[in-house]
Amino acid sequence: MSLWQIFTTNQDRTIHKWTHYFPAYERHFVQFRNTSFTLLEIGCGKGGSLQMWKKYFGPLVNIVGIDNRPECADLTEAQISVRIGDQSDPAFLRRVVDECGIPDLVIDDGSHIMSHVKASFDFLYPLMGPRSVYLVEDLHTAYWSEYEGGLKRPGSFIEFCKDMIDQLNAVHTRGALEDNDFSRSTVSMHFYDSLAVFEKGVYGKKHAPQIGRKA
């Protein structure tokens, strides 16, 4: 069953997701289906998305939800654990990772406050291994002042992403930017309406083959 079918036929806990996200989910998440991996979802909502991921990814996935609302602890069930804390607190995130493992897939549907989104990314993304995916939802809030956003406002996650496009290509800047862990480990960045997706990889993306070169 596709993720869209699971969503549209849901009879369990309420799921709050924009419908135009689903093609992006399918594109970037299909590699994880029926494999053993750890998913971390920031922001538990009413618990419906945690159950949706469980149905979609299958019996081998370990799902961890984090939220600052104590009542979300009641969303725990088989394959789903919930930890209560602040997504912008590195000490809390370290405890979650130490207990539950480094995530292979992160979905940030948390507070949507720009400094919180950035703090979670700064802590979690460098820890993630090859073939992992980090997805940030609801980035329309990057344009709204009540979420520390605004068009071209410094500090918004959208402005951060614009800078990271340059960093992705750091090796080609002739020394203007230093090649670092982000540029060496990130294979691609994808942008959709209100979504940003970062994909890590292992192949030698920085070294183009010398096709047709004479000896």
3-state secondary structure of 145: helix
3-state secondary structure of 10: coil
Distance CA(90)–CA(67), nearest Å, equals 14
- DSSP letters spanning 68-136: S-GGGGGG-BTTEEEEES-TT-HHHHHHHHHHH---SEEEE-S---HHHHHHHHHHHGGG--TT-EEEE
Residue 132 CB neighbours (<10 A) = 22
Has 112 been annotated as catalytic?
yes
Torsion of CA 150, 156, 158, 164, to 10 degrees: 150
Distance CA(47)–CA(137), nearest Å, equals 16
Per annotation, catalytic residue among 28, 112, 116, 190: 112
User: What residues act catalytically?
Assistant: 112
